[in-house]
Amino acid sequence: MLDKTIVDLINTQINKEFYSAYLYLNISNYYYDNNLNGFGNWFKVQAQEERDHAMLFIQYMQNNGCKIVLEPIAAPTKEYSDFAEPLNDVYAHEQYVTKLIHNIYGEALNLKDFRTFQFLDWFVQEQGEEEKNADDLIKRFELFGHEAKGLYMLDSELAARVYSAPSLVLD
């Protein structure tokens, strides 16, 4: 059985991961609505990843006999006024999620909960990749996205992204 503090933090994280999926679906819809289907695809795939992150946390809790508490998921409410704005919001959001993961990681270390500590290793690495991907997308948009041909090429490239389920093995 996991410590109550860890259980509470992971239950909160489950909600945050599902919110991330909602956020990325909202951004995906924004780009689809503006005929940038490649960007829409990229964020739809990202939403699938975030949903699976939540499911990994759920599976971990189930494997450890912990009660899962699902809370209401807030709907994203931000309206975007330009194509760069969602990219910057995504980067800030990924930094926020990284802090949440680090908080659970630190608490697991303090409690000498090495099972949770080891489980979170994958998420720490994943968040590094998430932040880098978000930052790279911003930089590429800054380089190419402000003129029509560059935006078209970047959108075409993002359309090729396909979903790949996480490879984390849970015991």
pLDDT at 165: 78
Per domain, the residue ranges of the chain are: 4-71+82-158
Give the pair of three-digit tokens for residue 68.
């899962």
Which has the minimum average pLDDT: 26-30, 60-64, 135-139, 162-166?
A: 162-166
Domain 4-71+82-158 of CATH type 1.20.1260.10: yes
Using the structure block, give the residue that is written with the tokens 């990219």: 87
Q: How far apart are CA 32 and CA 29, in angstroms?
A: 5
Q: Which one-letter DSSP state was computed for residue 132?
A: H
pLDDT at 51: 97
Closest by CA position to 13, among listed 89, 82, 68, 62: 68
- pLDDT: is 56 or 171 the higher one? 56
pLDDT at 169 over 70: no
pLDDT at 1: 82
- Could you tell me if 57 and 65 are in contact, meaning their C-beta atoms sit under 8 angstroms apart? no
Label residue 137 exposed, middle or buried (CB < 10 Å: 0-12, 13-18, 19+): buried
Percent of the chain topping pLDDT 90: 93
Average pLDDT of span 105-119: 96
Question: Which tens digits make up the pLDDT trace of 56-85?
Answer: 999 999 999 999 999 999 999 999 999 999
pLDDT at 166: 75
